[in-house]
Amino acid sequence: MNITSILRSDAILPELKAKDKQGVIQELAGLIAQVEPSIDVEQLVKILLEREALGSTGIGSGVAIPHGKLSQLDHIVAAFGRSKPGVEFDSQDGEPAHLFFALVAPENTAGLHLKALAKLSRLLKESSFRDRLMKAPDTQTVYQIIKEEDEKS
């Protein structure tokens, strides 16, 4: 599973405006709905917030991976957002999150959904990868960094 097979460059926002968890989720859901017009943004926000209510997707080290499933999808879609100042996301380490990958999968594809989450988690464990994403000046550079890391693993 390559992240670039589910993340388009036009679903990358190098500077999120949101200052809180709900705002981040709304911005990322909006990005996903732009690249996948069949998705109702309000339904997606609701699904992502319901998942957050079960336990934060803030995995620590400045990273959060909000995710959920939608019945009308037939493939996984991802979005990426960055907040340089950081957003309180109830992360496991208590620190703000700066790097956000949102994933939405079809309801009947648990295996692919889990593979995508596992791949992202593996990539984001590397502090050098996180640092490069934080320093990237623009959308295209962010996408290129993700593509390079994707091809390594």
Residue 131: predicted pLDDT: 98
Place of tokens 């956000």: 100
Q: What is the mean pLDDT of residues 65-80?
A: 93
Q: What is the mean pLDDT of residues 115-133?
A: 95
Residue 147: predicted pLDDT: 96
Taking alpha carbons only, the member of 130, 129, 132 closest to residue 152 is 129
Number of other CB atoms surrounding residue 73 within 10 Å? 19
Give φ, ψ of 79 to 5 degrees.
Answer: -140, 155
Q: Is the pLDDT of residue 126 over 90?
A: yes
Structural domain count, the chain: 1
Give 111 or 134, the one with higher predicted confidence.
134
Residue 43: predicted pLDDT: 96
Beta bridge partners of 130: none
User: In terms of residue numbers, what domain contains 96?
Assistant: 3-152
Q: What is the mean pLDDT of residues 34-56?
A: 95
Q: What is the mean pLDDT of residues 61-75?
A: 93
Percent of the chain with pLDDT over 90: 88
Give φ, ψ of 135 to 5 degrees.
Answer: -90, -10
Which residues are tagged catalytic?
67
Q: pTM of the entire structure?
A: 0.96
CATH of the domain at 73: 3.40.930.10
